[in-house]
A and B are shown apart, each in its own frame.
Chain A
Amino acid sequence: MSDDNFADVRLPADFTPEALARMREIAKIVRSNVANTKRTLDEFAEPAPVLDLHLRRR
């Protein structure tokens, strides 16, 4: 997750201050979703495609 200056992400060369301000608003939503996800994360959960979950049971 980036900080408010987005120093670690590549922005378009012609990105405007207005677009950057909008992006800061979006960042609040992103942070909230990331925090929610990590709050309930099972430490043993490993990514697996949903289809694999089904096929493994056959």
Chain B
Amino acid sequence: MVIDRTKPEAILGLTLRQASDAIAARALSPVELVDAYLDRIETVDGRLRSYITVLADEARAAASQAEAEIAAGEYRGPLHGLPYAVKDNYFTKGVRTTANSRLRLDAVPDFDATAIVRLREAGAILLGKLNTWEYGTGMGPFYDDLPFPYARNPWNLDRYTGGSSTGAGASVAGRTALFALGSDTGGSVRLPAAACGLQGLKSTTGRISRHGIFPNCWAFDVAGPLCWNVEDCAIVAEALSGFDPSDPISVDKPADFRSDLNKGVAGLRIGVIRDMDCGGVHPDPDVLANLAEAARVLQAAGAILVETELPAPVLRYRSAASIINWAESYSIHEADFQSGWHLMGQALRDKMTAGLQISAVDYLAALRERRTLAEMTDALLSGFDALLLPSAFHVAPAFTDAAGLGAFIGDTAATPFSMSGHPALSICTGFDSEGLPTSAQIVGRWFDEAMVLRVGHAYETATPWRSHFPTF
């Protein structure tokens, strides 16, 4: 592999897989790659604001170590020498983990999240900690009142990144990280991926350890990657997967997300949910048109498309999910709320005041409803290899559009699969008339991430969207 270094995008334009191949072939040095990303961060992140903390010295030292290991024939695999970044709710030993909260500005953990450990063992290099909503949580509306100001969308700096993994979306799309880890409670990986034109995977509940990620809602929290393309998601998710005794819901299941990636979709039965009513709101026309085109692409590749619908209205999922989420979040933050509520941003404060009003009986009702909805959703999936449906209903709104900011988070089909625990991949389906990314979701059966990624990869390789990069 030859890298044309006369072109400015030669290194930063590489996908994870391409960079990995180049490093394995000794056509690219981890030091050169990390330096390119650190230079990019220095050049653009003052405007993009994807990072809270940059670990330049640590990243350079790790890159030198990776280079020496590879030169000595100690190649660890496809992530060796590759730079990434994590949402600032992942604990990092010796490195402040603020969760973008005034309550944690000086908090320095004494251990690493399991995801950080796994990626370090795979040879990946941590560039820094990424912007986020406070503790990765909120009720939807956006407030500019956190200690680190909001990240901006690389497709248009006046537009929202989606949340809550704001910096994860901004960094990968803006090329300040090769890949990023976010966390998804009700869409917080999928929605920044949707807003920023990325692929974001929420794996099956229990697939990837959450140990060392500051909790938001135990019932729904899932760690996951945001990447430029689906193959990259498969590589990262595979490295992250595996049993972890420190996470009480961790499951010991084999994770092979790449063997079938190129098998295509011929003969697969895909349920298509083209439109849905979310409290009287429907996806934007451009979102629906691009979803229809995605369905056509899959059909042309041999998939058997079957029109279907969710077994319950999105609002039914959201009502119960909100109760569980707010109550659990209040349980997590109760002590801080009682003593330091005035230090919390408005979004977290609102969520706390919601959570403290929920009785045990209300919470149990929501858990009972969750079980019903999860079984109904699983029954739907039992008839298909995968589902194709909207992700975010809208493109990224302007920061000046208060109603649009709330609607971007509220009007989605993300919650049903947080409730049911099924794996869901948000993919870029093209662009609207203003050049902003549109998205769709591919959902699979429990622990069948391989199928979700296979369908996503088939769509992605049949369309030109991954050759479109934002400029800002």
Residues of A within 8 A of B (CB): 1-2, 6, 9-12, 14-15, 19, 22-23, 26-27, 29-30, 32-34, 36-38, 40-42, 45-51, 53-54
Residue of B whose beta carbon sits closest to that of A32: B319
Residue of B whose beta carbon sits closest to that of A8: B359
Interface size on B, residues (CB 8 A): 45
Chain A neighbourhood of B354, CB < 8 A? 26, 29-30
- Minimum distance in angstroms from B232 CB to a CB of chain A: 27
Task: Find out whether the CB atom of A12 lies under 8 angstroms from the CB atom of B323.
Answer: no
- Minimum distance in angstroms from B407 CB to a CB of chain A: 15
Task: Find out whether the CB atom of A36 lies under 8 angstroms from the CB atom of B447.
Answer: no
Task: Find out whether the CB atom of A27 lies under 8 angstroms from the CB atom of B357.
Answer: yes
Contact with A along B331-345 (1 / 0, CB 8 A): 000000111011000
Task: Find out whether the CB atom of A26 lies under 8 angstroms from the CB atom of B350.
Answer: yes
B238 at the interface (CB under 8 A from A): no
Chain B neighbourhood of A49, CB < 8 A? 249
Rounded to whole angstroms, the CA-CA distance of A35 and B354 in the bound complex is: 14
Question: Contact check: which of B204, B350, B353, B366 meets A37 at CB < 8 Å?
Answer: B366
Rounded to whole angstroms, the CA-CA distance of A32 and B365 in the bound complex is: 14
Chain B neighbourhood of A26, CB < 8 A? 139, 350, 353-354, 357
Residue of A whose beta carbon sits closest to that of B420: A50
- Minimum distance in angstroms from B416 CB to a CB of chain A: 12
Rounded to whole angstroms, the CA-CA distance of A49 and B326 in the bound complex is: 18
Task: Find out whether the CB atom of B315 lies under 8 angstroms from the CB atom of A36.
Answer: yes
Task: Find out whether the CB atom of A37 lies under 8 angstroms from the CB atom of B251.
Answer: no
Please give 14 more A-B residue pairs, beta carbons under 8 A apart, in addition to A36-B320, A37-B369: A12-B338, A12-B341, A29-B322, A30-B357, A33-B319, A34-B323, A34-B358, A36-B315, A36-B316, A37-B365, A40-B372, A41-B365, A47-B370, A51-B205
Chain A neighbourhood of B319, CB < 8 A? 32-34, 36-37
B362 at the interface (CB under 8 A from A): yes
Task: Find out whether the CB atom of B370 lies under 8 angstroms from the CB atom of A23.
Answer: no
Question: Contact check: which of B249, B358, B364 meets A30 at CB < 8 Å?
Answer: B358
Question: Contact check: which of A1, A33, A54 meets B421 at CB < 8 Å?
Answer: A54
Q: A19-B341, A50-B205 are in contact. Are A37 and B323 (CB under 8 A)?
A: yes
Query: Most chain-B Cβ atoms within 10 A of its Cβ — which of A9, A19, A53, A54?
Result: A54
B104 at the interface (CB under 8 A from A): no
Rounded to whole angstroms, the CA-CA distance of A17 and B59 in the bound complex is: 48
Chain B neighbourhood of A19, CB < 8 A? 341, 349, 353
Q: A36-B316, A37-B369, A51-B251 are in contact. Are A10 and B338 (CB under 8 A)?
A: yes
- Minimum distance in angstroms from B331 CB to a CB of chain A: 13
Rounded to whole angstroms, the CA-CA distance of A27 and B447 in the bound complex is: 37
Task: Find out whether the CB atom of A41 lies under 8 angstroms from the CB atom of B342.
Answer: no
B356 at the interface (CB under 8 A from A): yes
Contact with A along B396-434 (1 / 0, CB 8 A): 000000000000000000000000110000000000000
Task: Find out whether the CB atom of B357 lies under 8 angstroms from the CB atom of A40.
Answer: no
Q: Which 9 A-B pairs have the closest CB atoms?
A: A36-B319, A47-B367, A50-B421, A45-B368, A23-B353, A33-B319, A54-B446, A37-B320, A45-B372
Chain B neighbourhood of A22, CB < 8 A? 349-350, 353
Rounded to whole angstroms, the CA-CA distance of A18 and B322 in the bound complex is: 24
Rounded to whole angstroms, the CA-CA distance of A36 and B279 in the bound complex is: 12
Chain A neighbourhood of B342, CB < 8 A? 14
Contact with A along B39-61 (1 / 0, CB 8 A): 00000000000000000000000
29 example contacts (A-B, Cβ-Cβ < 8 A) are as follows A1-B359, A12-B341, A14-B342, A22-B350, A22-B353, A26-B357, A27-B357, A30-B323, A30-B357, A32-B319, A33-B323, A34-B319, A34-B362, A36-B319, A37-B319, A37-B320, A40-B316, A40-B372, A41-B365, A42-B368, A46-B371, A47-B371, A48-B371, A49-B249, A50-B371, A50-B421, A51-B205, A51-B251, A54-B421
Query: Most chain-B Cβ atoms within 10 A of its Cβ — which of A29, A38, A48, A50?
Result: A50
B21 at the interface (CB under 8 A from A): no
Rounded to whole angstroms, the CA-CA distance of A46 and B372 in the bound complex is: 9
Residue of A whose beta carbon sits closest to that of B358: A30
Docked complex: B366-403 residues within 8 A CB-CB of A: 366-372, 374-375, 378
Chain B neighbourhood of A2, CB < 8 A? 357
B206 at the interface (CB under 8 A from A): yes
Task: Find out whether the CB atom of A10 lies under 8 angstroms from the CB atom of B371.
Answer: no
Chain A neighbourhood of B446, CB < 8 A? 54
Query: Most chain-B Cβ atoms within 10 A of its Cβ — which of A1, A26, A37?
Result: A37
